[in-house]
Amino acid sequence: MNTLVVDDLCFALKPSARRKTLQITVERNGDLLLFAPPNTEEQSLRLFVNEKRFWVYSKLAEKERLQKVVATKTFVDGEGFLYLGRSYRLKLVDTQDAPIKLLNG
């Protein structure tokens, strides 16, 4: 797979015979893809990436911000959980004969 490096951005080139325009995609894992028609000159690709650089950086920053928000749960007694827009406290029991039910919710 070919790559295009522009400053600190590394794009995986994906040529497509059916494509007529250039497209940049930011994958969920942060990989950058550059879709282009076959035989597109490297200078044209670099110019396109430079024009879209602010957009790419903003998408990467947004992805970083959203990934930091997710907190891991430890499942300890009294820990709060959100369910259908409301906060509930976790109560741990040693044995359980009946199925789980949500009280006051």
pLDDT grade for 84, boundaries at 50, 70 and 90: confident
Instruction: Look at residue 49 and tell me if it is in a domain.
Output: yes
| Tally of domains in the chain | 1
Q: Are 16 and 39 in contact (CB under 8 A)?
A: no
Instruction: Look at residue 86 and tell me if it is in a domain.
Output: no
The amino acid sitting at 2 is N
Q: Is the pTM of this model over 0.75?
A: no
Q: What gap in Å lies between CA 56 and CA 11, rounded to an integer? A: 11
Instruction: Look at residue 102 and tell me if it is in a domain.
Output: no
Instruction: Look at residue 9 and tell me if it is in a domain.
Output: yes
pLDDT grade for 87, boundaries at 50, 70 and 90: confident
Instruction: Look at residue 52 and tell me if it is in a domain.
Output: yes
Give the domain extent around 20.
3-69
3-state helix, strand, coil in the chain (%, to 5): 25, 25, 50
pLDDT tens string 5-46? 998 999 999 999 999 999 999 998 889 999 999 989 999 999
Angle at CA of residue 31, ends 11 and 70, nearest 5°: 155
Instruction: Look at residue 104 and tell me if it is in a domain.
Output: no
Instruction: Look at residue 33 and tell me if it is in a domain.
Output: yes
Instruction: Look at residue 79 and tell me if it is in a domain.
Output: no
- pLDDT above 90 covers a percentage of the chain that reads 48
